[in-house]
Chain A
Amino acid sequence: MSDHAQDEDYRLEVRAWLAENAAEYAEPREFPEAELVARSKAWIRRKHEAGYSAIAEPVAAGGAGGTSRQAAIFEREEARYHTPTFTGVGIGFAMTMAAIKGHGTAQQYEHFGTLTHRGDITWCQLFSEPAAGSDLAGLRTRAVKDGDNWVVNGQKVWSSWAHHADWGILIARTDPTVAKHKGLTFFLVDMKSPGVEVRPIRQITGKSDFNETFLTDVVIPDANRIGAEGEGWACCMTVLATERGRTRSARAGGDRSGSVRSLVRQAAATPRQGGSALDSRAVRAKLARWYVREQGLKNFGKRLDEQARSGGGFPATVALVKLVSATLLQETHAFLMDLDEYAGAFSSDAADREEVFYQYLWSSAMRIAGGADEVLRNQLAERVLGMPGEMRADKGVPFNELPY
């Protein structure tokens, strides 16, 4: 059978399975946080049992031993439904797995891969600190070797969904006597360990999706170290590249709410003196420019995926994906409010404005989280264009001799 015919068979099989198993998620539904987490795990478990969880990963690591084409087909089919998921799932499936696969042992990958892909555990990311965000390598959380264990002390911040996470990926300083990104090591930490305390931070949305995470004499077995001592920075880079590449996944384009096609529809349905908002040349010019960017992202994403599949992961240009999409989100959602003039600043059942408000607020976080706009621009300039880095006061200086 040809590849194409095989793909078609697989697609039909997946469709039938989803029709039977995902029926309750045919329409979008809102769940309270704890229920969303429970449902997300249950959904992964169900997929795992049917051989649809981590399709392209080896069976020994809890995957289905299939191909990346099959994985892509399943993803596209599943996207027709509103199956439950939350940040902790993506952190586990994509970011954590990339780190363990790229830097850990086969045994670690099999153990944690199985737990994750079976839906037993979800993850949070314990990277950022109050004085170490863009300058992540400036982090101060210390891990000190004690026999077969490490003892960790410090404070992490902006830990998304850590209050619902079973495990965390942690970066800590193990050697302060060398230059700042050389003395870092990567760990997996059980969030139920004594000494882990998660405190919610209220966001401008009113919700508390992220947290401060305090680590006080937390014991981590050396077996849960990923990569060599001092290899932590490389692990972080793997995680961050995966995070940035993911922003695109299944989002850009199409007719979903917030897409430029849907904006065109909404503008056409917005009455203006004797016509619609779409009669305005100013509106048309904006929509056209956004469409070009949106489609650019979608098509660029396809090229990125091809490159990633042919080995070597994402190229450094991946930085532009989040750079473009976050600003696009901000501009288009301001526009959705503008369309309705004064009324656009107020809730209305008809227009689903709460969602527009939320996305407009969220866009401001998107421009910061996981590499802020300015940091991404520096990466494009330095890594892609080969331009020199900024003058740095910290270059090559041992961490414990830095003046601040």
Chain B
Amino acid sequence: MLRDQVQALCKEHVPPETLRELITANAPWQPELWRVMGELGLLGAAIPEACGGVGLTYRELAIINQELGRAVAPVPFFSSICMAAEAIRLAGTAEQQARWLPDLATGKRVATFAWAEPSTTLLERPLATTIEGDRVRGPKTPVPDASVADLCIVLADRGGEDCLAVVELDQDAVQRKPLHGFDELRQHGAIDFRRARCEVLEAASGSAFTAALFDEFATLLAFEQVGGAEAALFMARDYSLDRYIFGRRLGSYQAVKHKLADILTALELATANALHAADTLAKGGPDSRAAAAAARIGATEAYETAARENLQVHGGIGFTWEANCHFHYRRARLLALSLGSVEVWTDLLIDALADAANPSQAAA
């Protein structure tokens, strides 16, 4: 039901023609869809009722993100809701949650989450961005939805420890520069914090906390990827049924059937892994890292293959701006990079498995 609702909204507000118009206008998002999502309580799905949300679970967030991924919807849902609001919920004090979350739940304000820095990969330390007192300084790039966000959760170093802080972006000590990206439907920016005022989220910090937070982000992102992969797969299937080649439907050739069956297989495994990761994280347990990494790697590869082969099945048409294949061809690449590449998650996964296999060494 939730799934159908989001699908219908995307059909209405961000059909492919609208995506093309947004790219042409260099517009960073579709605010109307955002407003409606706020009104319907979709933005507040996982935000506690006490903070103006609906108080549902992680599962609902995942479903919404999957459907937005299917539509390549240009709204900052992953930035503002899956990352920033979750960070506030998990790391903020009750008072901080009550202060920041209600406006995110209605969509009145948009937040983003800045973790990437020019010279480190995900979870590499030290961070160049530092916090002293109530000031943050350092470069963060790329930051998703940087130009539409009002607030930014910054991952920074405080006295050698990871910590998170909320920054109001509308201040002189914050400099935002737009980046030109491969996927123009999710705009990013570079943000330079020059001793900007910030408020540290005091309820949780430290590298173990950030690592767990990224497991959650990766799991939610896997749903977005799986949604995109499914869209690309069925786009290819539909086209192969319409197109006649050598007097036969393209879809009747075994080469095409096998290609799509392989993608379906990868997609089903990726979806199952994402669902498992969501359950594992909800319970919290020692296997969370491996579950999240498996979700991330499987979803990334499934989406990339689905996006490439969808374009391929379309032939020359697939290379045109008027066809919709390119939205996924670009988005699959962006999502493959936006939260640590497969290379990074491969290492995280194998380290987690090795630690589990040899707990004494891990403790040492």
Contact = CB atoms under 8 A, between A and B. Distances in A.
Contacts of A203: 319-321
A224 interface: no
B33 interface: no
B255 interface: yes
A394 B247 contact: yes
B319 A364 contact: yes
A333 B300 CA distance: 16
A133 B343 contact: no
Interface in A307-366: 330, 334, 337-338, 341-347, 357, 360-361, 364-365
B239 to A, nearest CB: 13
A204 interface: yes
A174 B311 CA distance: 33
A402 interface: yes
A346 B336 CA distance: 13
Contacts of B315: 133-134, 368, 372
Most buried by B among A201, A402, A403: A201
Interface in B333-360: 333-334, 336-344, 346
B142 A202 contact: no
A178 interface: no
B327 to A, nearest CB: 9
A178 to B, nearest CB: 16
Interface string A359-390: 01100110111001110011000000000001
A282 B347 CA distance: 10
A282 B343 contact: yes
Interface in A185-221: 201-204, 206
B246 A202 contact: no
A368 B316 contact: yes
Most buried by B among A158, A204, A337, A377: A204
B179 A365 contact: no
Given A203-B320, A368-B315, A369-B316, A345 B308 contact: no
Interface residue SS majority, chain B: mixed
A155 interface: no
A283 interface: yes
Interface string B101-124: 000000000000000101111101
B85 to A, nearest CB: 21
Interface stretch (B127-135, B181-189, B287-295): B181-189
A271 interface: yes
A18 to B, nearest CB: 35
B326 interface: yes
Contacts of A402: 247
Contact of A346 (B181, B246, B253, B341): B181
B247 A404 contact: yes
Given A368-B318, A394-B246, A404-B247, A342 B304 contact: no
Contact of B122 (A341, A347, A377): A341
A342 B346 contact: no
Contacts of B219: none
B117 to A, nearest CB: 9
Most buried by A among B120, B244, B253, B334: B244
Contact of B320 (A201, A357, A360): A201
Contacts of B182: 337, 345-346, 357, 360
Most buried by A among B121, B122, B246, B253: B246
B35 to A, nearest CB: 28
B181 A128 contact: no
Given A345-B182, A373-B312, A135 B246 contact: yes
B362 interface: no
A365 B182 CA distance: 17
A347 B179 contact: yes
Contacts of A342: 116, 142, 337-339
A287 interface: no
A303 interface: no
A393 B322 CA distance: 31
A271 B321 contact: no
A277 B344 CA distance: 11
A372 B338 contact: no
A365 B319 CA distance: 6
B364 to A, nearest CB: 20
Interface in B297-319: 304, 308, 311-312, 315-316, 318-319
A272 interface: yes
B312 A338 contact: no
Contacts of B336: 334, 338
A19 interface: no
A273 B124 CA distance: 7
Contacts of B179: 346-347
A364 B311 contact: yes
A157 interface: yes
A330 B339 CA distance: 21
A280 to B, nearest CB: 6
Contact of A393 (B119, B124, B246, B333): B246
A363 to B, nearest CB: 9
7 smallest CB-CB distances across A and B, nearest first, come from A393-B247, A394-B247, A204-B326, A202-B321, A347-B180, A346-B179, A342-B116
Interface of B: 116, 118-122, 124, 141-142, 179-183, 188, 244-248, 253, 255-256, 304, 308, 311-312, 315-316, 318-322, 325-326, 329, 333-334, 336-344, 346
19 contacts: A134-B245, A134-B246, A204-B325, A273-B124, A280-B343, A334-B304, A338-B342, A338-B343, A342-B339, A345-B337, A357-B182, A360-B333, A361-B326, A368-B319, A378-B255, A390-B246, A391-B248, A393-B248, A404-B247
Given A345-B181, A346-B181, A392-B246, 13 more contacts: A131-B244, A133-B316, A135-B246, A201-B321, A273-B124, A283-B343, A330-B308, A341-B337, A341-B341, A342-B337, A343-B142, A365-B319, A393-B246
